[in-house]
Each structure stands twice: as structure tokens, then as C-alpha cells.
Structure 1
């Protein structure tokens, strides 16, 4: 079984082909150009280089957020279009869960932290239990101070993600030696991890519906906030690209 993985939640987007035995290929897309410019080209390239076709895939796994609003829209809409065209099942994978899965079978809880701007972070807390990644604190968007307040400072915790770098001083001040930081190479969610998590769900027949799969934003966009302020909370905001 082979799965195409798509990850566009952060600036360093990626695509991957993963089987039950190995990572066949994974390409990191440059942060210089937009995801819209590179994503389909990257998918075409990885299929060409591996001598595979989309119809050989058992399904498509895509990171659904939280993360960059624009990046997620591009990634999810592309994955849905490909799944629809090739009649393939699709699964949406949490970006934060994929980040935590970058540290397999860790002995300590893992706290992925993505910079959400506005002095906030996207975060959650996970731990490995009998080979499965379980959520201890659900996904949320909060200030770094609120994130720290929710965590048990008596426990050793592994922090991962660009938000953990941004607020490393604050975290170390509160946790001291109980805070561990993953290597910077682990900071970005990876398409290969998204694909591997998706593979497990596909094997378990846990599909999402192409028609209803949407990104997980956790908070309204600036455009939605401005619209509500201008038109009132009962008005419905319709994005231009809908």
C-alpha cells in the first residue's frame, strides 16, 4: 500500500510517497516561492522520479492544520481535487499530531508549538502509550504564558516547533531542566509523517469525506474578524476563493 502525503501548514511545505515498508521519496518545497506555485509541480516530480502514478496510491493524506491559513487552504483543496479526480480515499491529519510523531516512542510527553502570530501559539500535548500517540491536552490557540500554565512543570516535557524556539527563554525560565527541545530539523511537520499517520488510518478504513474535509484553523482569520466587525456577527463571511 502506498500513500501520497501533503504538508502545507508551514513555510517549508513538503510532499512524500510512503509505503508500509519505507519512505519512497520526500521533497521539501522551497520557502521562497508560494505553495500554490510549487505544490502540484512537486507532486508531479515525486511521482515521475519514483516511476509511480497517482492511481497506484491507496489514498492521500493531507495535513489539515492548525497552521498557515493560506497554506492549509492550498494543501487541502489540492488533496481533495486529486482524490476526487483519481477516485481515491482521503484522510486529514492534524499538523500538531504529525509534529509530535516526528519523535517516535519518546519516553516523555511531547508539546508541539507553532507560532500563530499575535503573540499566540498553536499547541497541544501528546504522549506515547503502547505504540500509539495519545492527546493529553487537545489542540488550542493560546498565549505562550497560558500554554505554560496548563503544563505540569514537575514533568520532563519535549518541546518541538518554531514556537518553542520563539518562546524558548520563557519556557526554560519556568521549566528549567525539565524542558527539552527537539533538534531544529524536527521543527517542521513532514509530509512523510503525515503519510505514515494516514496509512494507519487507511488500513483501519478510517476515511474522511472529500466533500466535508476542511482545514482546522482554531481561530477566525483576520478577514473574518474584519468582516464581523463591519457587518455584524450574524453576517456570513464568504472567502473570495470559495
Structure 2
């Protein structure tokens, strides 16, 4: 086990946590859109000061790898890699959807239901994945446009809990009796550090040179129809 600093920037919430041997030491978070670039370094400084430790004592940096906001993931990963290079320590990454599933599992309200974390991908699209109650992967990660038929086959045989910042907009569309929704669940560095500690013990480190966030979908910039049109439209 080790002293691990964790950064979570995949959604509108920006959070930082420090874990020692898998136990939370200090944490801080900011619930404000588009604050990651200006506030991530501030949160890191707050957490290190709260823990009363020097940066040189940190043994690894963990980061949420995605999917999620293109801009948020890019900021988190670039900051994490910069700290790893500066401190000469390894990088750990955790799937954002696995992280969300773990957060629900820790709430102990599963009742053998399947878990479907959802991250908002704009309009009626979400990034999602299905796990069992032990966080075993049942379905691969996908970018899914939600309609009345979504998950119908799975819901016919299993209770499924939907959660994450993409789930709220799906509640009025997925109306099967086996569909349950939990609100106000966002990825958190508090649980990220717990999962990262497990990966540290297994030496599951990332290559600092080649590691990139898992965006799932490319960052899209549409050319304007004419010179008077908007400069760009983007999905993040």
C-alpha cells in the first residue's frame, strides 16, 4: 500500500483526495462547471495542507481515466502526468464508470441488482456500462442514445439501478418496473483513491509517455456552414 493522491475531473465536479494504505486522509471538491482548469491545483494544495505532508511524500498519482468530459479528462490526466514526472512516481488510472459502480456498492443498497452508471453525453445520449452487484463487468462500455426500448431485454429479467449525472434525464424514458434510479451520484476522488490503492498493490501502473484518457468518442468540431456561422460546436 502507499500514499496516493487522486484526481477526479471527468464530470462537472472536480475533486481531489489523499489516501494512505487505502484509507482516506483528506479530500476537497468543487461543484462548479468549467472550474477544473482554475481550481484543480488549488484543491491539490488544500488537500496536501490538510494532510500536513510534503508533496515529496506522495508515492503515486491516481486519475479517473474516463469516459466523461473531454476537457475535464484532459485537464485531470495532464495534471496527473505532470506531477508524476516532477515527483518521479507512478501513475494509476481507474475507469470512471467502475468508480461510480463502486460508489453505489459501498452504499450497500444493491439487493443483487445490476448496476448501470451513466455519464451525460448531451441530448439523450449517455456513456454507460452494466455491472453485477460485485462490480463484475456484464456489458462493455458504450455511448448509448436512450429511448423507450433501451435495456428492455435486460430489465425483463433483472432489476437495474441507474445512476450518475446522465441518469436523471433517462428516468422519464426508461419506465420498466425493474428500473430504479438513484440521484446525486457523481464520481468522487474519495472512492477513486480506494480503488487506486488496490491497483497499486498489484503494480498496475500506466505508461507515463503513452497513457491517454479514454474519451470513448472523439472530440468533434463542426465547420460552420458559412463565415457568419458560429465558430464551432463541440461535444465534451
Q: Is the 8 A contact 1:9 1:65 kept in 2?
A: yes
Instruction: Please tell me whether residue 165 in structure 1 is matched to residue 142 in structure 2.
Output: no
Whole-Å Cα distance in 2 between the matches of residues 207 and 121 of structure 1? 28
Instruction: Please tell me whether residue 181 in structure 1 is matched to residue 184 in structure 2.
Output: no
Aligned to 1:112: 117
Change in Cα spacing, 1:211 to 1:226, as seen in structure 2 (3 Å) is: farther
Whole-Å Cα distance in 2 between the matches of residues 44 and 199 of structure 1? 21
TM-score for the superposition, normalised by structure 1: 0.84
Whole-Å Cα distance in 2 between the matches of residues 153 and 211 of structure 1? 45
Deviation at 1:115, TM superposition (A): 1.1
The CA RMSD measured in Å over matched residues stands at: 2.0
Report SS of the residue matched to 1:192: helix
Aligned to 2:137: 135
Instruction: Please tell me whether residue 2 in structure 1 is matched to residue 3 in structure 2.
Output: yes
Q: How does 1:51-200 map to 2 (within 5 A)?
A: 51-104=52-105, 106=110, 107-129=112-134, 133-145=135-147, 147-149=150-152, 151-171=154-174, 173=175, 175-176=176-177, 178-182=178-182, 184-185=183-184, 187-200=185-198
Deviation at 1:152, TM superposition (A): 3.6
Aligned to 1:49: 50
How many residues are matched? 219
Whole-Å Cα distance in 1 between the matches of residues 22 and 35 of structure 2? 32
Can you list the C-alpha shifts for 1:159-192, whole angstroms capped at 9, x where unaligned? Answer: 1112111110111x2x22x12222x33x200011
Change in Cα spacing, 1:158 to 1:44, as seen in structure 2 (3 Å) is: same
Aligned to 2:219: 221
Deviation at 1:220, TM superposition (A): 1.3
TM-score for the superposition, normalised by structure 2: 0.86
Change in Cα spacing, 1:61 to 1:150, as seen in structure 2 (3 Å) is: farther
Q: How does 1:9-48 map to 2 (within 5 A)?
A: 9-20=10-21, 22-31=23-32, 34-48=35-49
Report SS of the residue matched to 2:13: coil
Change in Cα spacing, 1:44 to 1:122, as seen in structure 2 (3 Å) is: same
Report SS of the residue matched to 2:44: helix
Q: Determine which structure has the larger helix proportion and give its number.
A: 1
Residue ranges of structure 1 left out of the alignment (5+ in a row) = 228-242
